[in-house]
Amino acid sequence: MIDLREVELSFPGEALRANPHAAAARRRTREWVRRLGLLNDAQIAEFDSWRMDTACRAGFPDADEDLLQVALDLCWWTFVVDLHIEQGVQDAAGIERLADELASALRDGSNPPGPHPITAGAMDIVQRASRRQTSQWCDSFRHFMLVYLTSRAQDARAQATTVDAYLQRRRQSIGLQMTLDLAQSPTPPSPLLFSAPMLHSRQLLTEHLLLQNDIFSLHRETRSSAGRSIIFCLQRERRCPIEEALTAAIAMADARMSQFTRYQNRIADWIDSHEGSAADRDSCRDALARMLTWTRAVYDWHRQAVRYAP
């Protein structure tokens, strides 16, 4: 069996710091999930054993209690969606009804009568996250939350046949991307946060996150009947052994991190060339650093998580 504990991905920067509010956030997330009826007690115990709080503790080291709580609740919510879709993968109509309900709630800004727990959880997260965000960020966040649900359902029912097709689909169904967006939220707003270099940098880290997930969930997906993974796509496309496909996936992740680092090092010059202000430059640098910190924290979590144990 391949020992995934020996897998190492390249990362720049120093060791991560810990947020002191993580223990309290972990307790409140369990209470939040139970109150909304998102999981039963046995499922809460299982989810809690995955210790997603450790990713948020390191990925949001400077966040206040409110932001850290939103981040951890969002992590749990995305895994609840995964569980719901996996359990009801044959119920396409039910998933569509849930997507329609969530779309209406996000559009109207309020829950419908008797909302599905997933809708209620999403609305609660959006409302709390929106208190400190620009309208552009909030619109983007709401859009991705809805796209995530519908794309995740499609991803569960159909298997991509090529690497490119797989990446295109998974960019829309990687829940950790929403937390990646949240990671930059303490950054002072700047219109250049949504410029082409910043959006491309975000995409590079999004793909790094999904490659991480597929690398470290290899054993889990091997046990699954669906077998959704970039590694299996590479194996089919290249007609190579699984070990070679794993090596290729690691190289893809490292290439994206290398390209992100180049963007990070050049962003100040790009902003200056577009007559951006010092505040714009600081905002973009800060956003890139925060997103990188979250990506590294998820990597450390992947290597330790019970969820991905062989």
Residue 29: pLDDT band (50, 70, 90) is very high
pLDDT one-digit tens code per residue, 180-212: 888 876 566 677 877 888 889 989 999 999 999
What pTM, to 2 d.p., does this model score? 0.90
Instruction: Retrieve residue 224's tokens.
Output: 């699954």
What's the half-sphere exposure (Cβ side, CA atoms, 13 Å) at 155?
25
pLDDT at residue 212, rounded to an integer: 94
Whether 147 and 177 have beta carbons less than 8 Å apart is answered as no
Residue 85: pLDDT band (50, 70, 90) is confident
Q: Which residue has the higher pLDDT, 223 or 42?
A: 42
Q: Which residues, other chains included, contact 269 with Cβ-Cβ below 8 Å and sequence gap of 6+? A: none
pLDDT one-digit tens code per residue, 130-176: 887 767 777 777 777 777 777 766 665 566 668 888 888 777 767 67
User: Residue 20 corresponds to which amino acid?
Assistant: P
User: Residue 206 corresponds to which amino acid?
Assistant: T
Q: Among all chains, which residue has been given the structure tokens 């070679």?
A: 244
* Total number of domains constituting the chain: 1
Q: Residue 71 belongs to a domain with what CATH number?
A: 1.10.600.10
Instruction: Retrieve residue 150's tokens.
Output: 């519908």
pLDDT one-digit tens code per residue, 104-120: 898 888 888 999 999 99
Buried b (16+ CB within 10 A) or exposed e, 63-80: beeebbbbbbbbbbbbbb
Q: Can you tell me the distance from the alpha carbon of 239 to that of 219, in angstroms, rounded to the nearest whole number?
A: 20
Q: Can you tell me the distance from the alpha carbon of 199 to that of 188, in angstroms, rounded to the nearest whole number?
A: 17
Q: What is the mean pLDDT of residues 207-220?
A: 91
**Cα dist from 266 to 52, 200, 201, 269, 275, whole Å:** 33, 13, 11, 6, 15
Share of the chain above pLDDT 70, in %: 90
pLDDT reading at 225 higher than 60: no
Domain of residue 265: give its range.
4-308
**Cα dist from 192 to 51, 69, 261, 264, 272, whole Å:** 35, 27, 18, 14, 11
**What angle separates helix 196-216 from helix 176-183, to the nearest 10 degrees?**
140
pLDDT reading at 124 higher than 90: yes
The chain-wide mean pLDDT, for the chain, equals 86
Q: State the CB neighbour count (10 A cutoff) for residue 50.
A: 18
